[in-house]
């Protein structure tokens, strides 16, 4: 039986991030992907022009439809823009006793468009941090969560990761992809300490959807029965290769997508 993972997130009409990136990642990694759409965005490689939020009761209906039928091994949560949306998702997780949840706290698009209402941030931390196995903020999202300057080095990344852990998260993967240097360093922090994951930094402007892709790749690993450390290591390698191959696609006029199917499209 094929492993099943679900993405609960926003739709990206340009296909590079959000639900579309998650489902591509699941498929590329041998996972059957299902979805719960929490928002729709009018979006392309140049930015986000409009957002339409799905009513919370319809989000709940999608959750019930998916989890009542499919045997779900892991769940990735992405863009949830309002407190009522967060609460609907939290209630659904409890109702179906959902395990192996990877929460990507999507707050701002790469273009700078704000994707999370201010009052939703408090709900996200209160309702979903304790329910998630892993929270995956990038440097800018960690800064927003903590109302602190963006971390400039690994020491500051570790300190901020530990502070996010103290907010109620079970584990935190603080991602250094937006930093400088020849290596992209991510730190996995939980009650057992800190583990360091590194990858070569690739020079390309086609990095749209990297955060969505990484978090869904971690969920894919968990769905396959990997430990959290194994899932993070495999996800890091997959995203690095997808970024390295991104320029092969030549999609759009802005920040194009990574190449989710770099291993399959030869």
Looking up residue 237, the CATH number of its domain turns out to be 3.40.1190.20
Query: Which whole number is the average pLDDT over 224-233?
Result: 98
Q: Which of 7, 41, 85, 207 is catalytic?
A: 207
Sheet holding 134-135, edge to edge: 47-53, 32-44, 4-12, 74-77, 101-103, 134-135, 171-175, 183-190, 193-200
User: Of the listed 45, 76, 136, 212, which one is catalytic?
Assistant: 212
Catalytic residue among 10, 14, 92, 211: 211
Percent of the chain with pLDDT over 90: 86
Residue 215: how many other CB atoms lie within 10 Å = 30
Helix (H) or strand (E) holding 223: helix 210-223
Q: Is 191 a catalytic residue?
A: no
What is the average pLDDT across 211-226? 98
Active-site pick, 24, 76, 175, 236: 175
Q: Tell whether 199 is covered by a domain.
A: no
Catalytic site includes residue 136: no
Number of domains present in the structure of the chain: 1
| pTM score of the predicted model | 0.95
DSSP 31: -
Active site residue 175: yes
What DSSP character marks residue 55? P
Distance in angstroms (rounded) separating the CA atoms of residues 157 and 151: 5
* Annotation says 114 is catalytic: no
Whose tokens are 């998630």? That residue is 132
Alpha helices in 30-169 (DSSP H): 56-69, 83-95, 118-123, 139-146, 154-166
Tell me: pLDDT of 224 over 70. Answer: yes
Q: How far apart are CA 220 and CA 191, in angstroms?
A: 23
pLDDT above 80: residue 57: yes
Whether residue 114 is contained in a domain is answered as: yes
134-170 confidence digits (pLDDT tens): 999 999 999 989 999 999 999 999 999 999 999 999 9
Tell me if 37 is assigned to some domain: yes
From the candidates 41, 210, 221, 256, give the one annotated as an active-site residue.
210
8 A C-beta contact, residue 159 and residue 146: no
Phi, psi of 195 (to 5 degrees): -120, 140
- 151 falls within a domain: no
In a domain, 143, yes or no: no
Instruction: Name the catalytic one among 18, 176, 209, 221.
Output: 209
Residue 70: inside a domain: yes
State the pLDDT at residue 117: 67
Q: What is the pLDDT of residues 86-143, one digit of tens each?
A: 999 999 999 999 999 999 998 765 555 556 667 788 899 999 999 999 999 999 999 9
Residue 210 is a catalytic residue? yes
Residue 144 lies in a domain: no
Residue at 52 is within a domain = yes
Give the structural domain span for 227. 4-137+208-248
Read off the pLDDT of residues 177-216 as tens digits, 9 standing for 90 and up: 665 666 889 999 999 999 999 988 888 999 999 999 999 9
Examine the residue annotation and report whether 207 is marked as an active-site residue of this protein: yes
């Amino acid at each position: 039986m094929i492993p099943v993972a679900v993405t609960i997130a926003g739709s990206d009409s340009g296909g590079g991030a959000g639900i579309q990136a998650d489902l591509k990642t699941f498929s590329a990694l041998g996972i059957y992907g299902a979805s719960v759409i929490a928002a729709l965005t009018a979006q392309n490689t140049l930015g986000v022009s409009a957002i339409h939020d799905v009513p919370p009761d319809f989000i709940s209906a999608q959750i019930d439809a998916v989890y009542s039928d499919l045997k779900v091994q892991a769940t990735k949560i992405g863009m949830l823009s309002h407190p009522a949306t967060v609460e609907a998702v939290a209630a659904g997780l409890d109702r179906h006793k959902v395990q192996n949840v990877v929460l990507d706290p999507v707050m701002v698009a790469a273009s700078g468009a704000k994707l999370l209402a201010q009052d939703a941030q408090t709900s996200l931390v209160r309702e979903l941090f304790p329910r998630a196995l892993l929270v995956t903020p990038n440097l800018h999202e960690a800064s927003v969560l903590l109302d602190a300057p963006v971390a400039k080095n690994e020491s500051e990344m570790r300190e901020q990761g530990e502070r996010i852990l103290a907010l109620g998260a079970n584990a935190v993967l603080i991602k250094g992809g937006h930093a400088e240097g020849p290596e992209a360093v991510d730190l996995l922090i939980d009650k057992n300490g800190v583990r360091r994951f590194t990858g070569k930094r690739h020079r390309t402007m086609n990095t749209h959807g990297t955060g969505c892709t990484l978090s869904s790749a971690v969920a894919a690993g968990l769905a396959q029965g990997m430990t959290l450390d194994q899932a993070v290591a495999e996800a890091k390698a997959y995203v690095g290769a997808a970024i390295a191959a991104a320029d092969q696609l030549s999609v759009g006029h802005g920040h194009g997508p990574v190449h989710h199917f770099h291993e399959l499209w030869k």
